[in-house]
Structure 1
Amino acid sequence: MRSARSDDAPVDEGDQEKPDALALPAHVAGSGTLDRLVETARDYAKRATSENTLRAYAKDWAHFSRWCRMKGTEPLPPSPEMIGLYLVDLAAPTGNASALSVSTIDRRLSGLTWNYTQRGFTLDRKNRHIATVLAGIRRKHARPPVQKEAILRDDILAMVATLPFDLRGLRDRAILLLGYAGGLRRSEIVSLDVHKDDTLESGGWTEIMDGKDGGGALLTLNAKTGWREVEIGRGSSDQTCPVHALEQWLHFAKIDFGPVFVRTSRDGKKALEARLNDKHVARLIKQAVLKAGIRPELPEKERLALFSGHSLRAGLASSAEVDERYVQKHLGHASAEMTRRYQRRRDRFRVNLTKAAGL
């Protein structure tokens, strides 16, 4: 049963042009068994790419299709010459449009490549009309990556303190503390289920365990780099303990099956059935940053731009005073170098090769 629209209802993005679905070859007659296999294949194909990426790729295709029609051409079949001009228009647009960053342009091209593949075409990114233009754009417009601000220990405590103690507040407190202590991506937070295989769209599950050191929560995640386990120990007090916050939310929301984090009613007193959207995590972080008065010397717009869902992940990497390899394992990074990118406050010159070399 559907309840009334909640505080976390998603925005309607409108209809998007869909690629051709997987189907049987034209010369093969359909049957009950083959039709079921086709449906299963379509389901697997949908799961090959994350929901967020699919939405982004759909928007990329819609934007490119509109651009083509405004130029008096069609997006199909792929034309390397027109795609090269499209990239130029993204980097140095005419009129009042804003230029896109190099990373966004590269992502747009990846979106077009994916869309063409789904429609049975091949887009050669190495074609000179595309590759040389993109290389020139990178050379002229590339900038160092802009990192989001890390949420440090005192910040997260101040943010949690701004939340009320109604059901919505319990949920948001569990999201912030669990996301921070687990170094989780926002998609990983909202994709959690209570148990394994509770829902088809599950991205992992939770298990609260006892132990001689107080126990904690074991999260099994199907993350970007594959399956991994994240151990979240209990905190020093109930007020700041992510495991206690999770237990409180599940208990008072009466959740024992399905998604861990769901939407709430408008009054914040009733848990609904629908899984929370990952955009809520980003909004929650920005709102809590403002309420907690973090970086008060900056205008509100700049403060909001500094923080995102990744701020929780960077905060743990920057605050945890443990050996770097443990942080790397916790975050699921393949290399120590990637972990160091998240450490905003590390001692960069602790290992001094200049002195070690005798200078």
Structure 2
Amino acid sequence: MNDKFIFPCSKEEREKILQKYGEYLEINLSEKTRLLYQKACRLFERYCDSRGIQAFPTTPMTLLDFAHINVTEGLQGRPLSMNTVDLYLKAIHYKNIHLGFRSPYHDYLVTRVLRGMRRKHGTAQKEVKALLASDIKKMIDACDNSLIGKRDSAIMAIGLAAALRRSEIINIRIEDIEIVKRNRPTDPERAFLHIRQSKTDQEGKGRKIPVIQGENIQAIKRINEWLQVSGIESGYLFQTIPHKKLSGNPLDGKDISRLLKHYAEMVGMDPTMISGHSLRAGFVTNATMVNARQDKIMAVSRHSSRDSLSGYIRDEDHFTDHAGEGFL
């Protein structure tokens, strides 16, 4: 067997496997990730072609040279962030494996050189503002009664109430919302939001998020109002509205960031500190401020560990219930 191949089977058997089960390889990544990887590999192949070197199988030196030139100079006149370069390298790694070649990505020297590049050329990730419930309430109140206004208020409400990523918001479909039957007429409204697939759920197992009505944000009420005025009965919950009419097409992730910045500026906040992630960060920050149990926070935010959850705690929250309050 050619030692460039890592599969415990012959080349002929591998071809049979690909022929029979190739469709599963096509869908083992999310559509978004697959497209990003394809774009990254095309850039890498053009880079190799321009230098007369072989792209696949990739050698350790070729991988490091590609990473270095992108993070220091850039192939189009400006250096790329180390996060972007890391994405490119993962795409190259994935394609090597897919083709049956050994990938240099986890080579001992390669991993340490890349770690050094991250230390030297990486930049601290800008921390966006976590939107507090009071912020969101002001932003929702700034929405008018138009079709767009009703849609945007529902987006902000459910985005905070379910700690959603912007990719999750734009992919919500009508059938993903499950209203929970009340035991008594006086009971508050509750619902489950079914997330089909998300950033950390590449296999598409899905998650079910408990959503409560609450007294301030009232996400379920705002969703119902949006459904009533829009008349949407199936398909994407949040659609683009060109010429004041529903298109049937979902919003783009950038639309979520834009609308949050728009309403933040309307209520006197700095829009440069707001991103599509401000809603998700806001849920965790708000819950932490009211001393919610971490397991209950994680039931909504779907963080896999307490360590990953702690990264969402903003500076001001580190002083709440400070360990030294009783004696300092």
- So what's the TM-score if we normalise by structure 1? 0.74
User: Paired residues, what number?
Assistant: 304
**2:269 matched to 1:294?**
yes
Question: 1:81·1:129 contact (CA, 8 Å) conserved in 2?
Answer: no
Structure with greater proportional helix content: 2
**Counterparts of 1:244 and 1:159, CA distance in 2:** 16
Q: Which moved more, 1:326-335 or 1:51-60?
A: 51-60
Amino acid at match of 1:267: H
**2:232 matched to 1:255?**
yes
State the Cα distance separating 1:129 from its structure 2 match: 5.9
Name the CA shift for 1:122/1:232 in 2 (closer, same or farther; >3 Å).
same
Q: Which residue of 2 aligns with 1:17?
A: none
Q: Which residue of 1 aligns with 2:206?
A: 227
C-alpha RMSD of matched pairs (Å): 3.0
**Counterparts of 1:59 and 1:289, CA distance in 2:** 34
Residue-by-residue CA offset, 1:196-244 (whole Å, 9 max, x unaligned) = xxxxxxxxx111234243122211223424532211111326xx42111
Q: Which residue of 1 aligns with 2:178?
A: 207
Name the CA shift for 1:135/1:336 in 2 (closer, same or farther; >3 Å).
closer
State the Cα distance separating 1:247 from its structure 2 match: 0.8
Residue-by-residue CA offset, 1:239-284 (whole Å, 9 max, x unaligned) = x4211111111222222222222222x222x222223333322222
Name the CA shift for 1:355/1:247 in 2 (closer, same or farther; >3 Å).
closer
Question: 1:84·1:129 contact (CA, 8 Å) conserved in 2?
Answer: no
Question: 2:57·2:103 contact (CA, 8 Å) conserved in 1?
Answer: no
Amino acid at match of 2:254: K
Q: Sequence identity, in percent?
A: 26
- So what's the TM-score if we normalise by structure 2? 0.81
Of 270, 295, 312, the residue aligned with 2:279 is 312
State the Cα distance separating 1:97 from its structure 2 match: 3.3
**Counterparts of 2:94 and 2:172, CA distance in 1:** 28
**2:137 matched to 1:157?**
yes
State the Cα distance separating 1:150 from its structure 2 match: 0.8
Name the CA shift for 1:27/1:77 in 2 (closer, same or farther; >3 Å).
closer
Of 186, 190, 193, the residue aligned with 1:216 is 190
Structure with greater proportional strand content: 1
Amino acid at match of 1:99: P
Q: Which residue of 2 aligns with 1:182?
A: 162
SS of alignment partner, residue 105 of structure 2: coil
Residue-by-residue CA offset, 1:51-93 (whole Å, 9 max, x unaligned) = 3322321221122223223323342332222111111112222
Residue-by-residue CA offset, 1:312-359 (whole Å, 9 max, x unaligned) = 00111111212333212210112222222112242446352x799x99
Q: Which residue of 1 aligns with 2:258?
A: 283
SS of alignment partner, residue 207 of structure 1: strand
**Counterparts of 1:69 and 1:98, CA distance in 2:** 20
Amino acid at match of 2:209: V
**2:313 matched to 1:343?**
yes
Amino acid at match of 1:189: I
State the Cα distance separating 1:289 from its structure 2 match: 2.2
